Structure 1
């Protein structure tokens, strides 16, 4: 026995724990027989029979075709990663990006929608909802188990927008509560740089890093960090908001000179080709960015810095001068790499966050990543255990 099964006490709790045990066994395994499931889960054959019937009826598992064998083959079952889906949304100032994925994190569809500048908080909310609804409209078979949104804001542990300079109309908005009414599933909210870090750690440039800093470089600059393999959000979700320190100049002329260039791609292309004026402009930008990064690097001494956001498309043309300045001002400069996910990092990080919350509700675990319950994708409370809906109060550890 593995210690999971109970023999007495609250029957509802016992049923929940037994169901979790079976789901854990099947979640990351090849199809298994009832006997094998019971052995690995530490449950009796009778208990496994009952749980398997409930999970099959609820659509979480299914029987698979028998292997060739002499005589009557044993029944085998698999976890249905297509049994539920999650939606990740990157809420930008001028664009909303949505990604739909199954429970293995395999991306099934994605879409982008322009966001009109200005407007009320309600109008922007409705625009974001419509972007998600449009992606789901032609997929009636999809049943969402979770939704997560990334926003350019300081977000508290409950999904309330504490402060957003780019989206001031959302300051004080309980975005998680609002979005939870959209598609019949729980919604979770996180800072966009934090979600980019989550995605890069999941299957991007930081897969092998334990401590790293994630930079978003584009029309706005932001940073998040992962320490010990976990997001570091700080007391109120404001960790990494180094741009708020005016003396660093992240909102100054050197940054704006590149950020709002009429043709940023052309500017970096010219710099890569050696044009002296373009090289100087990019170098001034890199120096200011490096000063902000250095303040974080000298504090946490990370393994890695990942450059993400729209400007990451410039590759080493932006990374090389940042490396040069960090080498000059840091005592132990980390490796600097360009994002493998680019502008999709935030929406993929939102997918990962939604999966973590959904797995927490399914498996009763707040450490799903370390437990290996979220495989790397191909492309990161209340209704009762039978329905396998999230239970009230469930939240991912560290949030």
Structure 2
């Protein structure tokens, strides 16, 4: 193995290129910078910055910014304005895809994560895997067409879906969707793209989204619960996603198997018959009836919330998060937060703050986009960047 040396000129060029690209890309909205500003930001020499900028322009990742007319008028008496350079956010695109029990949602962004289009299509909870995948492909094709995005400009695709997901995108266990357990989802989807496809559990994607654009911005220790008939949770510890050794962290929907026979469908029933599996509309009706004063519905809601709180409390006690975000169907229903807060006060040594998801139904697709953006940034900011045409 060759020894890494600071005398390697190609390594130094790659380091310098990454430094300049980071400065142009910025932390939020990219800003056009002059060579002088880039020298100050990177602490590199002016000749080095000039050479790197030319290389990035040739690679398609940077461009000279158009002159600002207001600056030009003010500078007329002082000579020609300094050249400014910008990161080409349009040099590629990213795709976030949610494949869920009731819908498929796709969202497209540029290389900064700025969303340029989205599309949602309904799908039956009883649809088989091939039907759900076909609906996903059609939804992607349509959103790319509507946004004028060429498929070959996609730099990464992130996917959020229920289940325990292996690192290669195989769903090891996915009881929420018919035919999902054992499905090589990543492999199946990669056939439609020429870029990396990264598959993530839906609750994990949702907590990434809330940390990026939602209720958990600026919070490093977060648990997000997708409340439903089979609740799941995603967790950030120190700002980093915690998947667990086998990708099964946060599967609190399985806790009822530990000696408790009553399923969520039976707990929420207002009759002698349990609710149909995965029927979130039926759950919403029960909550609406409870809000309207129906005693049976109120008792059913109380039973379900008590179970949910027990499950969430186990995770809160283990991780001690600063914030608990509630999403899924519960995020659109009034009256969920107060019972959760009250019960967590009873069970937790230090109850976290509790908030509803700010992203609602868009959380999983937005989180999938964040997964794609993270991958693209890791490639852009490695010590070598591939040309973009």
When the two structures are superposed, what TM-score results if normalisation uses the length of structure 1?
Answer: 0.83
Residue 84 of structure 1 contacts residue 145 of structure 1 at CA under 8 Å; is this kept in 2?
yes
Cα pair distance change 1:31/1:173, threshold 3 Å? same
Correspondence 1:160 to 2:170 = yes
Q: Given the alignment of the two structures, is residue 300 of structure 1 paired with residue 298 of structure 2, yes or no?
A: no
How big is each residue's C-alpha offset from its partner over 1:96-142, in whole Å with a ceiling of 9 and x where there is no partner? 11111223322221111123455654443333222111110233345
Indicate conservation of the 8 Å contact 1:215/1:221, yes or no: yes
Query: Is 1:150 equivalent to 2:163 in the alignment?
Result: no
Q: Distance in 2 between matches of 1:180 and 1:288?
A: 39
Matches of 2:263 and 2:128, distance apart in 1? 27
Contact 2:128 2:178 in 1 (8 A): no
In the TM superposition, what are the counterparts of 1:269-280 in structure 2 within 5 Å? 269-280=288-299
Paired with 1:260 and 1:126, the residues of 2 have a C-alpha distance of: 22
Residues 273/227 of structure 1: CA separation in 2 closer, same or farther (3 Å cut): same
RMSD value, Cα = 2.6
SS at match of 1:53: helix
What secondary structure does 1:109 align onto? strand
CA distance in 1: counterparts of 2:31 and 2:246, whole angstroms = 41
Note closer, same or farther for the CA distance 1:265–1:94 as it changes in structure 2 (3 Å cut): closer
Aligned-partner Cα distance in 2 for 1:194–1:82: 28
Instruction: Tell me the residue number matched to 2:13.
Output: 15
Deviations 1:82-106 (A, max 9, x none): 3322111111023111111223322
- Contact kept, 8 Å, 2:231 with 2:251, in 1: the verdict is no
CA distance in 2 between counterparts of 1:72 and 1:7 reads: 39
Q: Which residue of 2 aligns with 1:374?
A: none
Return closer, same or farther for 1:255/1:102 CA change in 2, 3 Å cut-off. farther
Is the aligned partner of 1:356 residue 2:374? yes
Describe the superposition over 1:282-303 as per-residue Cα deviations: whole angstroms up to 9, x where unpaired.
1111101001011111212221
Match of 2:241 in 1: 231
How far does residue 178 in structure 1 lie from its aligned partner after superposition?
3.1
Which runs of structure 2 are paired with 1:1-399 in the superposition (5 Å)?
8-9=7-8, 11=10, 13-28=11-26, 30-66=31-67, 67-68=71-72, 69=75, 70-117=78-125, 121-142=129-150, 143-167=153-177, 169-245=179-255, 246-247=257-258, 251=264, 253-255=266-268, 260=279, 263-315=282-334, 317-364=335-382, 385-387=385-387
Q: 2: distance between equivalents of 1:241 and 1:250? A: 15
- The separation in 2 between residues aligned to 1:262 and 1:180, in whole angstroms, is 33
Cα offset for 1:265? 4.0
CA distance in 2, matches of 1:262, 1:124: 20
Contact 2:222 2:323 in 1 (8 A): yes
Q: CA deviation at 1:266?
A: 4.3
Contact 2:17 2:52 in 1 (8 A): yes
Separation in structure 2 between the aligned mates of residue 39 and residue 322 of structure 1, nearest angstrom? 50
Equivalent-residue separation in structure 1 for 2:285 and 2:128 (angstroms): 35
Q: Provide the C-alpha distance between the structure 2 equivalents of 1:128 and 1:35, rounded to a whole number of angstroms.
A: 47
Secondary structure of the equivalent of 1:297? helix
Structure 1 386/353 Cα, relative in aligned 2: closer, same or farther at 3 Å? closer
Which whole-Å CA distance do the structure 2 matches of 1:57 and 1:172 have between them? 44
Distance 1:43 1:180, change over 3 A: farther
5+ residue gaps, structure 1: 1-5, 366-383, 390-399
Map of 1:380 onto structure 2: none
Change in Cα spacing, 1:354 to 1:330, as seen in structure 2 (3 Å) is same
Tell me, in whole angstroms, the C-alpha distance in 1 between the residues paired with 2:288 and 2:101.
26
**In the TM superposition, what is the alpha-carbon distance from 1:358 to its structure 2 partner?**
0.4
Instruction: Give a deviation string over 1:155-184, Cα, whole Å, max 9, x none.
Output: 123322221112352333333333233232
Distance in 2, matches of 1:361 and 1:335, equals 36
Q: Match of 1:36, SS?
A: helix
Q: C-alpha distance in 2, partners of 1:77/1:34?
A: 8
